[in-house]
Amino acid sequence: MILWKYKYFVDVIDSKSFTKAGKKNFVSQTAISQQISSLEKSIGGKLIDRGNGEIVVTELGQIVYDKAKEMLRLNEEMSKEIQQLKEKPTIDIGVDSSINRIFWDKLQNVIRSNYKGSEERFGFSKIDPREGGRMLEANKLDIFIGYGIPVPDMKMELEEEVLCESPIGVYVGSHTALKDKEELMLKDLEGYRRYETKVYPCSIQNAFKDEKEAAEEQTQEDISVYDNIDTMKLKVEFNDGYAFADSRFFSYEDGEIRLLSDYKESCNLKLFYRKEKNKKRIQKIYRELQDVI
């Protein structure tokens, strides 16, 4: 509101008329006069002398006029820049919250290397895969990068591209007895609880040769399933158990990932997007990201 008072004041001085200033701002002459009187009270001095029917700026008024012109110019410049930024094309990318800093660095390198000075802007979110699916469906994301989207009732067609393939490793906490072995094999996992979550598909692995052997080696009681991947990680880190994970890009705080010498399964990190999206633009980002990975 105070900015409008300064604008009315500047318009009165520039047009040398309360009436013209009122018409310019689509308000009455009385409204202009009231706002300038209010401005004078807030500043604590007279800004205009109206003797002999002329509008004369006081010494205080001249200071206020010069600074008000500058404020209004900066406000207009700011508004234009904000509008230009809003009008720039934005690509919103969501990344699975289980993915580590190594991947994020590669993603940022792609943007810095290929889009410096570009008109395109990027927005990034680190999100749960379920939320990634919902945001794609709501058109709040252009791209989701992860291992899968566990939202079965989505009413949209998705395209997916494989960014890379990584070996499945065994994630163990810092205090587990499994870390004492130099080289892990499947048989070493016997007797240890496995943690998994359907939100993170890499954790759902049948590491045995067939269903019969799986039933013999590891019953359901040996597996704990959680909806939240952060809970799964905490359970691994604070208990003597393990989870299967992407050996390259899995993010964790405490522990390490070990490869199994007799288990060569892999997982795919994928790029998901809506079928009706600008495929050419998304494919360009996909190829650039695939190159650095």
Compute CA distances 89 → 106, 142, 193, 277, whole Å. 22, 12, 48, 13
Give the model's pLDDT for residue 219: 53
Residues 198 and 73 in one domain: no
Domains identified in the chain, total number = 3
Decide which of 37, 65, 87 is a domain's last residue: 87
Amino acid at 39: L
Q: Strands 90-96, 143-146: parallel, antiparallel or unpaired by DSSP?
A: parallel
pLDDT band at 106 (very low <50, low <70, confident <90, very high): very high
Query: Are both 251 and 186 inside the same structural domain?
Result: yes
Are residues 136 and 275 both part of a single domain? Answer: yes
Q: What average pLDDT does this structure show over 2-17?
A: 92
> Domain check: are 145 and 119 in the same one?
yes
The whole-number pLDDT of residue 220 equals 54
**In a shared domain, residues 207 and 245:** yes
Asked whether residue 79 falls in the same domain as residue 114, the answer is: no
Between the ranges 159-173, 201-215, 278-292, where is the mean pLDDT highest? 159-173
- How many other C-beta atoms lie within 10 A of the C-beta of residue 97? 19
Residue pair 133/94 in contact (Cβ under 8 Å)? The answer is no
Q: CATH number, domain at 262? A: 3.40.190
Q: What's the confidence (pLDDT) of residue 207?
A: 75
| pLDDT at residue number 210 | 55
Calculate the average pLDDT of the chain.
Answer: 87
Res. 88: pLDDT tops 70: no
Which residues touch 112 (CB under 8 Å, ≥6 apart)? Answer: none
- Residue ranges with strand state E in the chain: 48-49, 56-57, 90-96, 121-127, 143-146, 158-172, 193-196, 223-225, 241-246, 256-259, 266-274
**In this structure, are 233 and 196 located in the same domain?**
yes
Nearest to 30 by CA among 44, 258, 193, 38: 38
What is the full DSSP assignment across 211-239? HHHHHHH--GGGEEE-S-HHHHHHHHHHT
pLDDT, residue 24, reads 92
Q: What CATH number has the domain bearing residue 51?
A: 1.10.10.10
How far apart (Å, rounded) are the C-alpha atoms in residues 204 and 226? 11
- C-alpha pair distances (Å), 229 with each of 36, 39, 53, 141, 225: 61, 58, 77, 21, 10
Phi, psi of 214 (to 5 degrees): -60, -40
Residue 28 has a pLDDT of 92
Question: Does position 244 have pLDDT exceeding 60, yes or no?
Answer: yes
Q: Tell me the pLDDT tens digit for each residue of 138-157.
A: 888 999 999 998 877 777 78
Q: Does residue 283 sit in the same domain as residue 203?
A: no
Q: For position 279, which CATH number holds?
A: 3.40.190.10
Residues 176 and 241 in one domain: yes
Tokens standing for residue 130:
């379920």
Residue numbers of the domain that contains 49: 2-87
For the cut 80, the answer to whether the pLDDT of residue 238 exceeds it is yes
- pLDDT, residue 212, reads 53
- High-pLDDT (> 70) share of the chain, %: 90
DSSP code at position 186: G
Same domain, 55 and 67: yes
Domain end point (choices 87, 102, 132): 87
Distance CA 23, CA 15 (A): 11
Q: Which of 65, 87, 109 is the last residue of a domain?
A: 87
Other C-beta atoms lying within 10 Å of the C-beta of residue 57? 16
68-77, 205-214, 249-258, 281-290: segment of lowest average pLDDT: 205-214
Q: How far apart are CA 180 and CA 3, in angstroms?
A: 69
Q: What is the pLDDT of residues 170-226, one digit of tens each?
A: 999 888 888 667 778 999 998 899 999 989 999 998 776 554 555 554 555 689 999
Collect all residues with Cβ–Cβ distance below 8 Å to 59 and sequence separation of at least 6. none
Q: Tell me: the pLDDT tens digits for 18-76? A: 999 999 999 999 999 999 999 999 999 999 987 777 899 999 999 999 999 999 999 99
Name 90's Cβ contacts closer than 8 Å, sequence gap at least 6: 120, 121, 122, 123
- Asked if 282 and 160 sit in the same domain, the reply is yes
In 3D space, the residue among 191, 167, 161 whose CA is nearest the CA of residue 177 turns out to be 191
More confident residue, 245 or 121: 245
